[in-house]
Structure 1
Amino acid sequence: MRHFTTTAIATLTVLSLVACENSYRTTEQGPSLPSPTVMAEAAYASPLKMQRDRLMMPPAFEQDTEQYEETDPNPVRLTALEPVSTFSSDVDTTSYAVMRRYIRQNNILPPSDAVRVEEFVNYFDYDYAEPASADQPFTPTVWVTSAPWRDGAKLMHIGVKGYDLAPDEEQAANIVLLLDVSSSMGAANKLPLVKKSVNLMLDQMNENDTISIVVYAGAAGVVLEPTPASRKTKIRRALENLSAGGSTAGGEGLALAYDLAEENFSEDKINRIVLATDGDFNVGTVDADSLEDYVARKRDKGIYLTVLGFGEGNYNDVIAQRLAQNGNGSAAYIDTLEEARKVLVREFRSTVFPIARDLKFQVEFNPATVAEYRLIGYETRLLNTEDFNNDAVDAGDIGAGHTVTALYEIVTVESDARLIDPLRYQTQNDTQGSVDEFAFVKLRYKLPESEKSDLLTVPVLVKDQYDTLQSAPRDARYAAAVAAYGQKLQRAGHTDYFDWDEIISLAQDSRGNDPYGQRAEFVQLVRAAKTASGDAKQK
């Protein structure tokens, strides 16, 4: 009797939703066939199936089921043997927000593989030179100062800021929301937070933008056909009617979202899919290699992908990162509503509107002045030397007003801090300008409508270095504090003798303007890490 009552209630609930939806469509658009919402509900949310899913739902996920790509920190390179370093830009911030969730919610340090130091550094904005126009969207900024964690070593700081589009320069956006509504998304920090986050994003869109919604669980369905963003009531009602249940047919959902984007593709708009998921794809095409190949093929048609991660316990960072990198988009992790405001309100334009594609960095170090170097972070973004000049090789895309930062630890030839002994049987041949330069920095990028890259270069002059860390720009010191913290959590050994209190002091001293309290929050996270009860299990 109890089972019959539960099923009857579920049936009445679904019938009520169907009636409300049909009534709403009749009011707004006149009589019509059953809506895409109803068709999608029929695919994965029948009363009996909802009841079965609840009965078969697995127990609460444990923290160590999360998946992060196994990486090793970059090694120290001997300049005489490997003078050139090449990597793709990265503006993702997932790793920082994941770290914050581990420390705040669980009072433990994140797994070392979850730590990508470049994403810690790039979580914050820095005061770099402003580019003059969209035709040359970057002006490189380079600072060289003392490394705070090792006497005798230096820190080379490379930063660029993307051209910030004025409102009248922005293209309209055609956005397909791809929302995971499987049973694993039922927690408060998953689908309910997705809905709140999308509502924040909706407020940033204008009447020329369009939005549609595809959902997936045991099957995929369209719950909102392309709709002008000005029809906010209709869009919000479609969002509110979503509920979690079923397995996770992520591959099928991706295919349907791309089909919808292609059907409504516009050359005059930014065509982008925004995927919100915990990454737990467990039905259909689930391996990361197949999914990233599929996304890369669609990227070539001008449809880009942004990935927003949610939740804990079963979060699959491997799939989220690979999809974003191959989809010419960024990846972010939304652990709080405030993080949603950062990503989808304050950084909405940089998330949606690209001002350059395939940004690559290549640094040639001068063996006459630099004995060895180490790239801090970017382990998953490394490129071969020849990839730099190959326009067919994909790299990171940069949105309007976004900053990108990269840090190298370098040791000069006269320093006692060298970790690698000089070569006995090789002499160094001086090159042009070698005694005056630490390095030569090159950037390659494509303008949004171009398939041919442009080149920017800047020499790093010895005379322009700052004698002490304290004399360096405030943002150089703050980025150094963040990098020290990230390396400490990465457990690579490079910052073992630079303790938590020294990181806190450096960050406090260089905090500067902090309108949203993010830099103050960082200091609190360092304090919390200092007293955390332990480490998360490493998979």
Structure 2
Amino acid sequence: MNFRLGLSQLTASALVLAIAACSSTDSEDSANQQVLMDRASVEEVVVTSARRKHAEQAAYVVPQSPPPVILPESQQEKYQDLEPRQVKLVREEPVSTFALDVDTGGYSNVRRFLNNGQLPPKDAVRLEELVNYFNYDFAGADSKPTLASDDDFAVHFDLSRAPWDAERTLFSIGVKARELPMDEVPPVNLVFLIDTSGSMSQANKLPLLQQAYRLLAKQLRAEDSVSIVTYAGSAGLVLEPTSGDQKTKILQAIDRLQAGGSTNGAGGIELAYAVAQQAFKKGGVNRILLATDGDFNVGISDVETLKQRIERGRKSGVQFSALGFGMGNYREEMVEQLTNVGDGSYAYIDTIFEANRVLVEQLAGTLFTVAKDAKVQVEFNPARVSEYRLLGYENRRLNREDFNNDAKDSGDIGAGHSVVALYELTLVGDTPRVDPLRYANDSESNAAEAKRDELATVKVRYKKPGEEDSTLKQWHLAPQIKPIQEAQQDLQFATAVAGFGLLLRSEPLREFDYEDVAALAQLARGKDTSGDRAEFVRLVKTAGALASAQAMPVTNQPE
């Protein structure tokens, strides 16, 4: 428990300030809790400080909401097999290249498991989606927002010792996209592609979907267009392209949706693209928003064929995003891959609060991309770094040559989104995981030694909206390492989330357990106006209790 001992050595004044801040927040939140519970309609949910208190207490059930649905363990959910990132030797492979990813569905899916008293399957735990669920503003970071003169987004860097291993150092790359109010988003052509098959009949699927889409519909403007396509056995057009100011017509169409039949997802996708082209807005946002539990079991059902169709749609100017619902047969591995190729993102909607977060609070970022095909390339200096591994991003890895290939599809960043990538480094002088070579190339060593004041070179490429040629930015970074207790607050919190993910994936951590995660996250909680960080602390404690119960030996009771 060395990490917790380290925390206890913080100055008394810092502790007093932290306790005072928490006490003030808790008393304010308690006073507002009843306001939320008295709401008459879930559609009028406003995320206030009551939501923060609600998050801390794990309720996540509002008036008129159905009780949580707990299904048996014989679920048919499918996740992409993820092999943990392997340790790389800098002298053999000094360059790491990957696409940035703003998907957050993995976090709310993990939350759903924990709220139902289960530890999630290991392959359901995507580290980057856990870390990137949270908002980071990098306030107080040593690095300055110097990426783009037009303020597309800023990049920040930070270094600290890993709390789980004194021989490892964490290197953080943080990206923060510019905020964009909804009234500045170009006209939107939105096609709701909705799964109305029989598997969607449960309360946490189509009924929750309808509540979520009613929230979204109320945000649309007169210059926007919305259509509704459903699929279940055969695809159908429920709502032709309709102006966003015709709220009654849109809401009535949403209310008419009913679940029944088997799933013909491919037929629905074909019709959705036809409708999207019919209402296409040149210079605007053209996007299909799929809502499903992922059970594509009729028609084109293999992922590769669907990906090819969505790629053709992307090249015609129509992006593809998705919302996942429900449990029991959730096909996360399919939904995530389809949105990757469709220049979109996916989120998992487990509560009306998550719907409000994605479709109201973050609507501009959900719809509008400020940086297209964003990718990162890091070259580590062997005079400073002997080993590295990227935490997460297992299915976003790119070849080295892909970085300079503008035709290579990569990740997209929406307005206001923040993205964090964490590397675990072994610095020269620390104990390596892999024995060094006796006969290393001395000429290469001398060249690296000449730039000993540099830890790494980081390059970022991205395309601005409407442009086909990428913009390149790069930095040469000096090693400035702090203990985690003194690191910038957002790095502390991202580190806690990454450690949480590693524990859920059963990766061995020397000196870091669920209690340590909760302690670090609480230290880095900050203002937490949304309540997301407080909720995270609660989920960590839940996971710790479940893991402890799972580890308990079973004793035979005397007859």
Q: 2:422 aligns with which of 385, 407, 411?
A: 407
Summarize the Cα distance change of 1:374–1:461 in structure 2 as closer, same or farther, 3 Å threshold: same
Partners of 1:396 and 1:132 lie apart in 2 by 17
* Structure 2 match to 1:507: 521
* Structure 1 match to 2:543: 529
* Structure 2 match to 1:94: 105
Q: 1:350 aligns with which of 357, 365, 374?
A: 365
Matched, 1:368 2:383: yes
* Structure 1 match to 2:129: 119
Partners of 2:128 and 2:186 lie apart in 1 by 29
* Structure 1 match to 2:267: 252
* Structure 1 match to 2:467: 450
- Kept in 2, the 8 Å contact 1:280–1:316? The answer is yes
Partners of 1:484 and 1:301 lie apart in 2 by 41
Summarize the Cα distance change of 1:168–1:244 in structure 2 as closer, same or farther, 3 Å threshold: closer
Matched, 1:498 2:498: no
Summarize the Cα distance change of 1:115–1:176 in structure 2 as closer, same or farther, 3 Å threshold: same
Matched, 1:243 2:258: yes
Cα distance, 1:452 vs. partner? 0.6
Partners of 2:161 and 2:74 lie apart in 1 by 38
Q: 1:79 aligns with which of 90, 96, 105?
A: 90
Letter paired with 2:160: T
- Kept in 2, the 8 Å contact 1:182–1:245? The answer is yes
Q: Helix, strand or coil for the counterpart of 1:504?
A: helix
Summarize the Cα distance change of 1:132–1:202 in structure 2 as closer, same or farther, 3 Å threshold: farther
Superposed CA deviations along residues 378-420 of structure 1, whole A, max 9, x for unmatched, are 001000000000011000111111111100011111112x101
Cα distance, 1:169 vs. partner? 3.4
* Structure 1 match to 2:413: 398
Matched, 1:475 2:490: yes
Cα distance, 1:345 vs. partner? 1.0
Q: Helix, strand or coil for the counterpart of 2:153?
A: coil
Summarize the Cα distance change of 1:242–1:305 in structure 2 as closer, same or farther, 3 Å threshold: same
Matched, 1:64 2:78: no
- Kept in 1, the 8 Å contact 2:383–2:449? The answer is no
Summarize the Cα distance change of 1:438–1:130 in structure 2 as closer, same or farther, 3 Å threshold: closer
Partners of 1:135 and 1:269 lie apart in 2 by 20
Alignment of 1:54-453 (within 5 A): 63-105=74-116, 107-128=117-138, 135-167=150-182, 169-416=184-431, 418-427=432-441, 428-431=445-448, 434-453=451-470
Superposed CA deviations along residues 327-365 of structure 1, whole A, max 9, x for unmatched, are 000010000111111111111110101111000010000
Q: Helix, strand or coil for the counterpart of 1:108?
A: coil
- Kept in 2, the 8 Å contact 1:63–1:314? The answer is no
Cα distance, 1:438 vs. partner? 1.0
Summarize the Cα distance change of 1:167–1:322 in structure 2 as closer, same or farther, 3 Å threshold: closer
Partners of 1:255 and 1:415 lie apart in 2 by 55
Partners of 2:243 and 2:454 lie apart in 1 by 54
Letter paired with 1:512: G
- Kept in 2, the 8 Å contact 1:145–1:467? The answer is yes
The alignment yields a C-alpha RMSD, in angstroms, of 1.6
Cα distance, 1:534 vs. partner? 4.5
* Structure 1 match to 2:502: 487
Unaligned 5+ segments in structure 1 are 1-59
Cα distance, 1:430 vs. partner? 2.2
- Identity percentage over the alignment? 47
Summarize the Cα distance change of 1:472–1:169 in structure 2 as closer, same or farther, 3 Å threshold: same
Partners of 1:425 and 1:130 lie apart in 2 by 42
- Kept in 2, the 8 Å contact 1:61–1:314? The answer is no
Cα distance, 1:516 vs. partner? 1.5
Partners of 2:320 and 2:358 lie apart in 1 by 15
TM-score (norm 1): 0.85
Count of equivalent residues: 471
* Structure 2 match to 1:56: none
Matched, 1:517 2:534: no
Partners of 2:349 and 2:410 lie apart in 1 by 24
Q: Helix, strand or coil for the counterpart of 1:467?
A: coil
- Kept in 2, the 8 Å contact 1:134–1:163? The answer is no
Partners of 2:281 and 2:146 lie apart in 1 by 28
Cα distance, 1:166 vs. partner? 4.4
- Kept in 2, the 8 Å contact 1:295–1:327? The answer is yes
Summarize the Cα distance change of 1:522–1:154 in structure 2 as closer, same or farther, 3 Å threshold: same
The structure 1 segments of at least 4 consecutive aligned residues displaced by more than 6 Å after TM superposition are 131-134
Letter paired with 1:127: D
Unaligned 5+ segments in structure 2 are 1-70, 139-143, 552-559
TM-score (norm 2): 0.82
* 448-457 vs 176-185, greater mean Cα deviation: 448-457
Q: Helix, strand or coil for the counterpart of 1:531?
A: helix
Partners of 1:474 and 1:281 lie apart in 2 by 42
Superposed CA deviations along residues 112-150 of structure 1, whole A, max 9, x for unmatched, are 111110101000011236579784512210001111110
- Kept in 2, the 8 Å contact 1:177–1:214? The answer is yes
Cα distance, 1:62 vs. partner? 5.0
Cα distance, 1:279 vs. partner? 0.4
Partners of 1:430 and 1:235 lie apart in 2 by 65
Letter paired with 1:85: S
